[in-house]
Amino acid sequence: MRQLQLVAFGEPSEVIELNTVSEPLLGQDDVLVSMEAAPINPSDFLLVRGMYGVRPAFPFSVGAEGVGRVTQTGSKVDVALQGKRVLILPTLEQGTWADQVVVPVRNLVPMSDEADPLQLSMIGINPVTAYLLLNRYVSLMPGDWIGQTAANSAMGQYIIALAKLAGVKTLNVVRREDAAEQVRQWGGDRVVQQGDNLHKDIEEALNGKKLSLVLDNVGGTPVGELAKSLKTGGSTVVYAVLSGQFPAISPKDLIYRDLSLHGFWLMNWIRNAPRTEIQEIYQKLGDLVADGSLYAAMEHVYPLEQFKEAFTRSLRSHRGGKILFQFGAH
Ligand SMILES: NC(=O)c1ccc[n+]([C@@H]2O[C@H](COP(=O)([O-])OP(=O)(O)OC[C@H]3O[C@@H](n4cnc5c(N)ncnc54)[C@H](OP(=O)(O)O)[C@@H]3O)[C@@H](O)[C@H]2O)c1
């Protein structure tokens, strides 16, 4: 089987190799999955550069999430799983950028045959994060407003879709006009562009309404400008820092208006939540992908051997959507 392996921390194209490894013996609780699709996420590159919350030993099989079909089962695994499509949970115990992968059965969730495997391959990280961000911190009611940064990211698209299903309105910040248009097409209720007058633009867009929740993946000043429009007692959740700058939220806002500031990392939930809760939420999200309610824009798919082109394209800003590996379709 062929897999992309990380051999040192550094720039993705320089430290990842495509290697052929012999098929390992299956443990009694393992299955062999023949991969269908696996996306490339910003967190994969953080890990590759040694800047992530997990620093693996080398060689390390990369790729956090994806879908495939079970082709073999270990002696203690139900043989009925053979041939089934499964989602591989992003536990980082198995690398999904591989044509075949051995996975402990506890890290799998069965998925629908009807849904697009490319779309399904992306639900392990972003949609579940969007779901948890919307459900864990404040009790949102239909008609409530939330604000978010980098709204044209895949995360942003899932947040808009899940908020809409709950009747929650979105105020979306982007950093360029063509991204604003894309977010409007996705159903973002208001879209504003990062700039010198961001707070004024946010207030105008909200027209007297206040935000209940701010979701930030950029850091720097935009999150602070959004936080100024939070209700007293509202919450901000920081789940990434794409700009590399600390989230600049005024202590005055935090103190005098009783705002809360939280951090979120999916890995903590995957490690600590009961498996039944994890399975239930992923199955719910898989159903939403199957009925078309959840979708992420895709820019291009690549076969595994074109991994360097895939990385270069994935690292570009102003992308139109996700870059993914697709297996067996080329
Ligand atoms: N904490 C967690 O558990 C968790 C879970 C899921 C995702 N995340 C994080 O969420 C972030 C988004 O992930 P994704 O998969 O949705 O990303 P994505 O689809 O690849 O999109 C990346 C987005 O980042 C924007 N961006 C990049 N640098 C920026 C900057 N300096 N200022 C403003 N915007 C910037 C891009 O804007 P342009 O289009 O204008 O270039 C684009 O909208 C990533 O950092 C990811 O690691 C965290």
Task: State the distance between the two ends of the chain, measured CA to CA, in whole angstroms.
Answer: 17
| pLDDT exceeds cutoff 90 at 329 | no
Burial 301-315 (b: 16+ CB within 10 A, else e): bbebebbeebbeebe
204-230 pLDDT, tens digit each: 999 999 999 999 999 999 999 999 999
Tell me the pLDDT band of 23, cut-offs 50, 70 and 90. confident
Beta-strand (E) ranges in the chain? 2-6, 16-20, 30-39, 60-61, 66-73, 85-88, 100-104, 108-110, 145-148, 169-174, 190-193, 211-216, 219-220, 230-238, 245-247, 260-263, 298-302, 322-326
Any ligand 1 atom below 6 A from CB of 270: no
- If one counts every other C-beta atom within 10 angstroms of the C-beta of residue 99, the result is 17
Tell me the pLDDT band of 136, cut-offs 50, 70 and 90. very high
150-200 pLDDT, tens digit each: 999 999 999 999 999 999 999 999 999 999 999 999 999 999 999 999 999
Tokens of 322: 């996700």
Closest-CA residue to 259 (of 210, 324, 203, 190): 210
The angle at the Cα of 218, spanning 213 to 223, to the nearest 5 degrees, equals 40
- If one counts every other C-beta atom within 10 angstroms of the C-beta of residue 152, the result is 27
Any ligand 1 atom below 6 A from CB of 125: yes
Say what the pLDDT of residue 126 is: 98
Alpha carbon of 189 to those of 3, 146, 173, 257: distances in Å?
A: 42, 10, 11, 25
**Radius of gyration of the chain, Cα coordinates, nearest whole angstrom:** 20
| pLDDT exceeds cutoff 80 at 330 | no
Tell me the pLDDT band of 328, cut-offs 50, 70 and 90. confident
Which domains does the chain carry? Answer: 2-122+268-326 (3.90.180.10), 126-264 (3.40.50.720)
Any ligand 1 atom below 6 A from CB of 172: no
Cα of 216 from ligand 1 centre, angstroms: 10
Any ligand 1 atom below 6 A from CB of 31: no
* Nearest alpha carbon, ligand 1 atom 40: 318
197-210 pLDDT, tens digit each: 999 999 999 999 99
Q: What is the mean pLDDT of residues 271-286?
A: 96
Confirm if 307 and 19 have CB atoms less than 8 A apart: no
Atom in ligand 1 nearest the alpha carbon of residue 321: 19
Confirm if 120 and 128 have CB atoms less than 8 A apart: no
| pLDDT exceeds cutoff 70 at 6 | yes
Say what the pLDDT of residue 24 is: 80
Cα of 218 from ligand 1 centre, angstroms: 7
Atom in ligand 1 nearest the alpha carbon of residue 296: 19
Any ligand 1 atom below 6 A from CB of 296: no
Any ligand 1 atom below 6 A from CB of 126: yes
In percent, the amount of the chain with pLDDT more than 90 equals 98
Cα of 14 from ligand 1 centre, angstroms: 23
41-79 pLDDT, tens digit each: 999 999 999 999 999 999 999 999 999 999 999 999 999
Q: What is the mean pLDDT of residues 289-314?
A: 97
313-322 pLDDT, tens digit each: 999 999 999 9
Distance of CA 163 to the CA centre of its chain: 16
79-122 pLDDT, tens digit each: 999 999 999 999 999 999 999 999 999 999 999 999 999 999 99
Any ligand 1 atom below 6 A from CB of 152: yes
Any ligand 1 atom below 6 A from CB of 47: no
Confirm if 72 and 57 have CB atoms less than 8 A apart: no
